[in-house]
Amino acid sequence: MDVRTLSSSPFHDQRPGTSGLRKKVSVFQQPRYLENFVQAIFATLSDYQGGTLVLGGDGRYYNREAIQIILKMAAANGVGRVLVGQNGILSTPAASCVIRKHQAFGGIILSASHNPGGPEGDFGVKYNVSNGGPAPEKVTEAIYRRSGEIKSYRILNAADIPLDRRGQHTMGGMAVDVIDPVADYAQLMEALFDFDRIHALFNSGLFHMRFDAMHAVTGPYATAILEDRLGALPGTVMRGTPLEDFGGGHPDPNLTYADELVAIMNRPSAPDFGAASDGDGDRNMILGSHFFVTPSDSLAILAANATLVPGYIDGLAGVARSMPTSAAVDRVAAKLGIPCFETPTGWKYFGNLMDAGKVTLCGEESFGTGSNHVREKDGLWAVLFWLNILAVRRESVEEIVRQHWAIYGRNFYSRHDYEGVDGAAAQKLMDDLRARLPGLTGERFGNYSVTTADDFSYTDPVDHGVSSGQGLRVLFKDGARIIFRLSGTGTEGATLRLYVERYARERAEHQHETQAALAELLAIAERIAGIRQRTGRDAPTVIT
């Protein structure tokens, strides 16, 4: 093997966030930038030589070039075998599935999730561990430390591997298997859901849906499963071809960026069911005819109806949600008599709970839902879960949601995102608010009295690790909440997120429009934090 050890020097901005290292494409294209970070990954690991690595990404710009570099570095660093998705494609949940099924020591996923793609867009590298989930904080911090010490990297001088067709290859002493990116994942989905019953729903001629793949990674998965296997009409999957720039769109499945699907679902002759997924396939948006299901309600409804689905027919061990996610699922857990865990934002926090058998379903308000079938949130899985429920209950999406509210009450909930805010201004807002928190307890704002104001901290019940500084909370006597967070998923400026929630038990209140129902709390949030004055923004970029 012609292994070369090339001199390098550190880049000091390679600390991974909650979803790996994300930067502009141009940053990753700098000489040695990608190589340094990948070498830091291998330098952090132990006992991986001769083992299996999973590799793939969401198909965004620079995906193919990065894969060839990583393959050559894997060979030079002693990896025994790499499973790489055909055309470099592997959705994030599919990568988790493949890691678990083939007992790989880990996987490198190339994605910036819901961030824009293309030459001027974003790129990302994330390392997942042997359970299929994102590397825990102790691993990502070790990778960061290594990246700051690096003096060289190892790479094999070899020809590129053809990624456009499936087959077996060798690269130096390493085996490279170019695999069907859909097959293992589709097999797992068929084991969880009643495909025959969902097929019958589509075959009835009385049910129609649209799935927006947003020119991102789930196009091939949705086409193979929804249209080819389950019998949905050809064309059910829209924007199904993965493109390096996502067709110029923003691959984030929300009411703003999936506006074409939203318009279809609000037509007079709208389909019965609509769904969308994001850049790497781990997020989902659920729509009924003229009806939007919040991610928090979606998680609660999946939990309440889990025993209708074959893979969950024996019930749930427990559920978990991120702290900013609404408490709707808490009420389901209480009724079912199962535990409900509140964690920081970031899917890695759910991994310990699932590995310990403490939870079966989990979710985040940022359009992420999943279960213990993999260790990532899973957009298409959530869509299939909804289809299974619809196939059994034969009611509309709106009817199912409103019946749920009638039983459990409604958690009015909304997230306001201020994207691309000046980073210093956003940090100053958070710092000033954090300093003010102790004085808010006991203060009254109109109809709302503050009982607790704090910076959320989490102690993992499995490994007892402590994660602090996870979001500023203002909690009110009647259970209403206002939460402020800075998101770690962007690459430009800062994204300030405001979450507002209140609970309504009486059915007469459930008819109210969400923003109107939350108007007083939104005014209180502005009074407390001064977002408009501090950021110069008159309105959020996105409201969900």
Cβ neighbors of 337 (< 8 A, separation 6 or more) are none
Catalytic member of 19, 111, 113, 322: 113
Orientation angle between helical segments 397-408 and 328-336, nearest 10 degrees: 70
> What's the DSSP call for residue 488?
S
Q: Are 401 and 291 in contact (CB under 8 A)?
A: yes
113 is catalytic: yes
Q: Are 70 and 38 in contact (CB under 8 A)?
A: yes
Query: CA 455 to CA 453: how far, in whole Å?
Result: 7
Query: CA 41 to CA 354: how far, in whole Å?
Result: 25
Query: CA 379 to CA 284: how far, in whole Å?
Result: 4
Comparing CA positions, the residue from 235, 187, 245, 194 lying closest to residue 212 is 235
* CA 169 from centre of chain: 32
Comparing CA positions, the residue from 97, 101, 49, 109 lying closest to residue 74 is 49
Phi, psi torsion values for 81, nearest 5 degrees: -155, 140
End-to-end CA, the chain: 53
Orientation angle between helical segments 328-336 and 295-304, nearest 10 degrees: 10
Strand partners, 176: 82, 169
Specify the length of the chain in residues.
544
* Residue-by-residue DSSP string for 375-440: SS--HHHHHHHHHHHHHHH---HHHHHHHHHHHH-EEEEEEEEEEEE-HHHHHHHHHHHHHHHHHH
Q: Are strands 542-543 and 410-421 parallel, antiparallel or unpaired?
A: antiparallel
Which residues are known to be catalytic? Answer: 113
